[in-house]
């Protein structure tokens, strides 16, 4: 879809004395490396409040990358990514609080659990051929079931949720630092960079190419021998695992998780909106979307705390950030369905071709 | 004959279709009977189960009422309207506002909410969903999702989160063979049945209804015989939204009005739509009753679990095993 348009630049560009053009994935890795390097000094430059926004942007970024793999590349429109986010959050919180297991191990365990659950949900959905709206509704139903079950299960503290036990000082092994420490940002940066790198790798792997082909025409892909079920399951598992990382890190950063924060439908919606605003089915769309959506609530919070004259009646109200991204979502779907990054990339590619 | 909008069965096949529907209704009835019997054994108290059944059916009528508009839109336009619950919330606030300002009887606010929501529906369809931008399923999901966020948070931003209540003048409590039922719940149920009949009659016996069914079953064919498909789509969406308006006026004495009340009904309404078969108005009513029962029985079976859990279990089973709904046919 979108990124094929970007990458299908003919390889027969005028071959000057310059080095041959990089393969698309190498170019994308290079861009990623530059972005990560540029982001490293951010927490030292930004004031503490903005540092928190930066971390939130990275959490959104990981979620959106996860969603994009399944729904953007794979075309399987998920409305229930809260399930995987929540499983990541709850697995690591449960292991940490009840058994004292390091959050890193918990994060890995959460990835495994989320991937397994994604494969089970995926298997049944594909087996019974749920498509389009039905698939979206089914994923939504599973996320809601997990929310209801955790809310009423005493084994995971029910509606109260988990509070991460505080430790003295900072510890990389326990993934805990004093509030406002730049270490949180750097760890999130590594995780987010890893997620984007995985999504680049996946997009250009055999499995990724198969999945995009299956998305574009399942019947045709199956008829030339693409193992449809296997590749779809691989895709949902990867997507679930990446989203679980965001959940596990979220718990460690905010030191608290409850069923609504973990499995609430707003989590699924945030993942969707972020990826769609940036550009669905592109590598960089989730990155662009995360920067916009992640910083929006901070901007509106500041605006509503000290509103200008004509907005004074809104002082102390909430909801403005969601309104803004809802409007953005509708406008983008109507006017530039490839998202901000997808549309810009297409424009650039067009200009180059001329 | 089935009441499915996109029923394209020729008249000659009608008897066998009727038999199939009756058979399935029998199976569903038997399942319900078993479920009630199990609940009886579990709780050991007849009156508790009876109260649950009555409450379940009456609440289910409300679910059916809300789902009717959704199923109409789903069946004719193939649009999953995620904003249906938010539209319901808007209509509820409208109803509350009219009662608060004019002191009108809550049910009479229908005179305001139905035309208002009809207009909203028409505008939403024309402005956001028709044309190329609203063509693919993903786009429709995303646009209605965005709209739902916009409406809900608009209500939150401008009207605040405090719940608002409307009381029915002359509210009474009735005794139905030992079960206590509030008057407003019973009236909402009766209103749901009446609205279902009106919609069914409209679809089966008016020119507009015939055109809607034609568009639902084959829109290029409908276009060929001179039906303005885009106009029918807009009208159907508007009628679907107007159903939410009617439901809001009937339900407003029963619920606390909050900006997010649509969320919970959205979920149940989708379950009801899938259960009843999409586009099937009568199916929506029956599905609503069943879901109302499931909710109440869940609280008996699984002590301490949310009543919604049973609803989702039924939903997933229906999605996997009978995605065409209880009364639909496999296409």
Q: Are B222 and B212 in contact (CB under 8 A)?
A: no
Measured CA distances, B18 to B3, B10, B41, B198, B328 (Å): 11, 12, 34, 22, 11
* Per-residue model confidence (pLDDT) at position A4: 46
Interchain CB distance below 8 Å, A327 and B274: no
Kindly list the residues from chain B whose CB atom is less than 8 angstroms away from the CB atom of residue A151. 306
Question: Is position B82 within any domain?
Answer: yes
Classify A14 as helix, strand or coil. coil
Average pLDDT of the segment spanning A78-92: 94
Q: What percent of chain B has pLDDT over 70?
A: 92
State which residues form the domain around B163: 62-287
Average pLDDT of the segment spanning B64-85: 89
* Per-residue model confidence (pLDDT) at position B11: 45
Question: Is position B324 within any domain?
Answer: no
Interchain CB distance below 8 Å, B263 and A265: yes
Q: Which of B299, B246, B216, B235 is nearest to B62 (CA)?
A: B246
DSSP B15-84: HHHHHHHHHHHHHHHHHHHHHHHHHHHHH--HHHHHHHHHHHHHHHHHHHHHHHHHHHHHHHH----TTH
* Per-residue model confidence (pLDDT) at position A3: 47
Q: What percent of chain A has pLDDT over 70?
A: 93
Question: Is position B77 within any domain?
Answer: yes
Question: Is position B231 within any domain?
Answer: yes
Return the domain boundaries, chain A: 49-163+182-353
Closest chain A residue by Cα to residue B307:
A148
pLDDT tier, A114 (very low <50, low <70, confident <90, very high otherwise): very high
Residues B69-106 as b/e (b if ≥16 CB within 10 A, e otherwise) read bbbbbbbbbbbbbbbbbbbbbbbbbbbbebbeeeeeeb
Interchain CB distance below 8 Å, A334 and B143: yes
Q: How far is B58 from chain A (nearest CA, A)?
A: 24
Kindly list the residues from chain B whose CB atom is less than 8 angstroms away from the CB atom of residue A337. 133, 139
In this prediction, the answer to ipTM > 0.85 reads no
Q: Measure the CA–CA gap between A123 and A134, rounded to whole angstroms.
A: 14
Judged by a CB distance cut-off of 8 A, whether residue B272 touches chain A is: no
What pLDDT digit, counting tens, does each position of B288-318 carry?
A: 999 998 888 888 887 766 778 888 888 888 8
* Per-residue model confidence (pLDDT) at position A7: 45
Q: How far is B82 from chain A (nearest CA, A)?
A: 10
Q: Which of B68, B9, B60 is nearest to B203 (CA)?
A: B68
Judged by a CB distance cut-off of 8 A, whether residue B132 touches chain A is: no
Interchain CB distance below 8 Å, A334 and B128: yes
User: What is chain A's length?
Assistant: 354
Kindly list the residues from chain B whose CB atom is less than 8 angstroms away from the CB atom of residue A265. 263
Q: Which of B75, B83, B132, B142 to probe by mutation at the A interface, max A CB count within 10 Å?
A: B142
**Of A18-32, A85-99, A138-152, B220-234, which gets the smallest average pLDDT?**
A18-32
Residue A164 pLDDT exceeds 50: yes
pLDDT tier, B8 (very low <50, low <70, confident <90, very high otherwise): very low
Kindly list the residues from chain A whose CB atom is less than 8 angstroms away from the CB atom of residue B150. 323, 326-327, 330
CATH of A49-163+182-353, one of 1.10.10, 1.10.3470, 1.10.150, 1.10.260: 1.10.3470
What pLDDT digit, counting tens, does each position of B244-287 carry?
A: 999 999 988 888 888 888 888 888 888 898 888 878 888 888 89
| pLDDT higher at B133 or B229 | B229
* Per-residue model confidence (pLDDT) at position A19: 62
Q: What is residue B125's DSSP assignment?
A: I
Interchain CB distance below 8 Å, B267 and A144: yes
* Per-residue model confidence (pLDDT) at position A107: 94
Q: Where does chain A have alpha helices with state H?
A: 2-7, 24-39, 42-45, 48-67, 82-99, 103-127, 132-151, 182-204, 206-216, 218-223, 228-254, 259-263, 265-278, 285-305, 320-335, 339-353
* Per-residue model confidence (pLDDT) at position B40: 78
* Per-residue model confidence (pLDDT) at position B177: 77
> In chain A, what is the greatest distance between 2 CA atoms, to the nearest angstrom?
69
Closest chain B residue by Cα to residue A79:
B141
Q: Measure the CA–CA gap between B39 and B237, rounded to whole angstroms.
A: 40
Q: What percent of chain B has pLDDT over 90?
A: 25
Q: Which of A71, A132, A141 to probe by mutation at the B interface, max B CB count within 10 Å?
A: A141
* Per-residue model confidence (pLDDT) at position A335: 86
Judged by a CB distance cut-off of 8 A, whether residue B51 touches chain A is: no
* Per-residue model confidence (pLDDT) at position B15: 61
Q: Are A205 and A241 in contact (CB under 8 A)?
A: no
Kindly list the residues from chain A whose CB atom is less than 8 angstroms away from the CB atom of residue B319. 128, 130, 134, 137-138, 141
Q: Which residues of A touch B (CB under 8 A)?
A: 77, 79, 124-125, 128, 130, 132-134, 136-138, 140-142, 144-145, 148-149, 151-152, 265, 269, 272-273, 276, 280, 314, 317-320, 322-323, 325-327, 329-330, 333-335, 337
Quote the mean pLDDT of chain B: 84
Closest chain A residue by Cα to residue B130:
A334
Interchain CB distance below 8 Å, B153 and A132: no
Q: How far is A266 from chain B (nearest CA, A)?
A: 10
Cβ atoms within 10 Å of A173's Cβ, excluding its own: 9
Extended strands (E) in B155-206: 173-176, 179-182
Interchain CB distance below 8 Å, B315 and A124: no
Q: Which of A128, A142, A323 sits opposite B157 (nearest CB)?
A: A323
Average pLDDT of the segment spanning A334-349: 87
* Per-residue model confidence (pLDDT) at position A17: 54
CA A64 to chain centre: 2
Judged by a CB distance cut-off of 8 A, whether residue B135 touches chain A is: no
CA A220 to chain centre: 30
What pLDDT digit, counting tens, does each position of A22-43 carry?
A: 788 888 898 899 998 988 888 8
Judged by a CB distance cut-off of 8 A, whether residue B139 touches chain A is: yes
Kindly list the residues from chain A whose CB atom is less than 8 angstroms away from the CB atom of residue B137. 77, 132-133
What pLDDT digit, counting tens, does each position of B115-145 carry?
A: 999 999 999 999 888 876 666 778 888 899 9
Closest chain A residue by Cα to residue B268:
A141
Closest chain B residue by Cα to residue A136:
B141
What pLDDT digit, counting tens, does each position of A168-217 carry?
A: 878 888 888 887 788 889 999 999 999 999 999 999 998 889 899 988 88
Residue B207 pLDDT exceeds 50: yes
Q: Which of B139, A64, A2, A223 is nearest to A214 (CA)?
A: A223
Dihedrals phi, psi of B118, to nearest 5 degrees: -55, -45
| pLDDT higher at B210 or A316 | B210
Q: Measure the CA–CA gap between A276 and A293, rounded to whole angstroms.
A: 11
* Per-residue model confidence (pLDDT) at position B114: 94
Counted domains in chain B: 1
Q: Which of B153, B157, B306 sits opposite A152 (nearest CB)?
A: B306
| pLDDT higher at B148 or B169 | B148
Judged by a CB distance cut-off of 8 A, whether residue B146 touches chain A is: yes
Q: How far is B213 from chain A (nearest CA, A)?
A: 21
Q: Which of A326, A328, A331 to probe by mutation at the B interface, max B CB count within 10 Å?
A: A326
Q: What is residue B108's DSSP assignment?
A: G
Judged by a CB distance cut-off of 8 A, whether residue B165 touches chain A is: no
What pLDDT digit, counting tens, does each position of A256-313 carry?
A: 999 999 999 889 999 999 999 999 989 999 999 999 988 887 888 777 777 777 777 7
Q: How far is B97 from chain A (nearest CA, A)?
A: 19
Interchain CB distance below 8 Å, B321 and A130: no
* Per-residue model confidence (pLDDT) at position A93: 94
Interchain CB distance below 8 Å, B323 and A327: no
Dihedrals phi, psi of A181, to nearest 5 degrees: -70, 140
**Of A180-189, B23-32, B67-76, which gets the smallest average pLDDT?**
B23-32
Q: Measure the CA–CA gap between B191 and B114, rounded to whole angstroms.
A: 14
Question: Is position B84 within any domain?
Answer: yes
Interchain CB distance below 8 Å, B128 and A329: no
* Per-residue model confidence (pLDDT) at position B136: 79
Q: Measure the CA–CA gap between B319 and A136, rounded to whole angstroms.
A: 11
Question: Is position B264 within any domain?
Answer: yes
What pLDDT digit, counting tens, does each position of B164-188 carry?
A: 888 877 777 877 777 788 888 888 8
Judged by a CB distance cut-off of 8 A, whether residue B321 touches chain A is: yes
Interchain CB distance below 8 Å, B309 and A148: yes
């Amino acid at each position: 879809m979108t990124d094929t348009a970007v990458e299908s630049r003919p390889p027969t560009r005028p071959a000057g004395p310059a080095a041959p053009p990089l393969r698309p994935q190498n170019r994308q890795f290079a861009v990623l490396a530059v972005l990560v390097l540029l982001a490293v000094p951010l927490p030292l430059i930004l004031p503490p409040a903005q540092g928190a926004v930066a971390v939130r942007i990275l959490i959104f970024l990981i979620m959106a990358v996860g969603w994009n793999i399944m729904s953007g590349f794979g075309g399987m429109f998920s409305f229930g990514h809260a399930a995987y986010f929540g499983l990541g959050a709850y697995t690591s919180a449960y292991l940490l609080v009840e058994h004292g297991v390091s959050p890193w191990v918990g994060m890995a365990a959460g990835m495994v659990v989320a991937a397994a659950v994604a494969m089970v949900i995926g298997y049944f959905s594909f087996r019974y051929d749920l498509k389009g709206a039905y698939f979206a509704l089914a994923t939504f139903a599973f996320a809601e079931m997990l929310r209801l079950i955790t809310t009423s299960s005493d084994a995971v503290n029910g509606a109260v949720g988990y509070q991460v036990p505080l430790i003295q000082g900072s510890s990389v092994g326990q993934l805990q630092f004093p509030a406002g420490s730049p270490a949180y940002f750097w760890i999130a940066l590594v995780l987010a960079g890893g997620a984007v790198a995985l999504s680049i790798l996946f997009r250009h792997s055999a499995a990724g190419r198969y999945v995009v082909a299956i998305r574009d025409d399942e019947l045709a892909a199956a008829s030339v021998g693409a193992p449809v079920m296997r590749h779809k399951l691989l895709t949902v598992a990867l997507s679930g695992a990446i989203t679980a990382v965001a959940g596990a890190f979220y718990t460690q950063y905010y030191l608290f998780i409850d069923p609504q924060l973990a499995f609430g439908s707003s989590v699924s919606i945030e993942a969707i909106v972020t990826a769609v605003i940036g550009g669905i089915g592109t590598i960089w769309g989730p990155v662009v979307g995360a920067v916009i959506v992640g910083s929006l609530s901070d901007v509106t919070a500041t605006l509503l705390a000290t509103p200008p004259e004509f907005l004074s009646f809104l002082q102390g109200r909430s909801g403005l950030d969601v309104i803004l991204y809802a409007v953005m979502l509708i406008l983008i779907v109507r006017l530039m369905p490839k998202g901000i990054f997808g549309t810009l990339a297409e424009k650039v590619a067009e200009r180059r071709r001329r | 004959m089935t009441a499915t909008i996109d029923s394209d069965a020729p008249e000659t096949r009608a008897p066998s279709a009727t038999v199939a529907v009756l058979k399935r209704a029998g199976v569903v009835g038997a399942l319900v009977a078993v479920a009630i019997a199990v609940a009886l054994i579990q709780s050991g108290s007849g009156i508790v189960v009876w109260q649950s059944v009555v409450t379940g059916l009456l609440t289910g009528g409300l679910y059916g009422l809300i789902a009717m508009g959704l199923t109409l839109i789903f069946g004719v336009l193939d649009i999953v309207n995620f904003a249906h619950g938010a539209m319901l919330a808007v209509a509820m606030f409208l109803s509350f506002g009219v009662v608060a300002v004019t002191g009108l009887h809550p049910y009479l606010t229908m005179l305001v909410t139905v035309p208002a929501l009809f207009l909203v529906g028409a505008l939403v369809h024309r402005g956001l969903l028709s044309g190329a931008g609203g063509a693919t399923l993903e786009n429709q999901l995303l646009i209605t999702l965005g709209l739902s966020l916009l409406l809900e948070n608009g209500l939150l931003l401008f009207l605040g989160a405090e719940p608002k209540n409307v009381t029915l003048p002359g509210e009474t409590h009735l005794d139905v063979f030992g079960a206590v039922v509030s008057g407003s719940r019973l009236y909402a149920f009766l209103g749901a049945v009446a609205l279902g009949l009106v919609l069914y009659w409209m679809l089966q016996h008016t020119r507009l209804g015939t055109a809607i069914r034609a568009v639902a079953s084959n829109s290029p064919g409908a276009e060929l015989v001179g039906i303005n498909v885009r106009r029918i789509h807009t009208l159907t969406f508007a009628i679907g939204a107007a159903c939410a308006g009617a439901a809001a006026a009937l339900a407003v004495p029963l619920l606390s009005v909050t900006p997010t009340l649509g969320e919970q009904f959205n979920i149940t309404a989708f379950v009801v739509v899938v259960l009843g078969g999409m586009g099937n108005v009568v199916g929506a009513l029956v599905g609503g009753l069943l879901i109302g029962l499931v909710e109440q029985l869940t609280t008996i079976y699984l002590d301490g679990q949310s009543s919604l859990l049973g609803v989702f279990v039924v939903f997933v089973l229906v999605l996997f095993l009978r995605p065409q709904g209880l009364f639909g046919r496999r296409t």
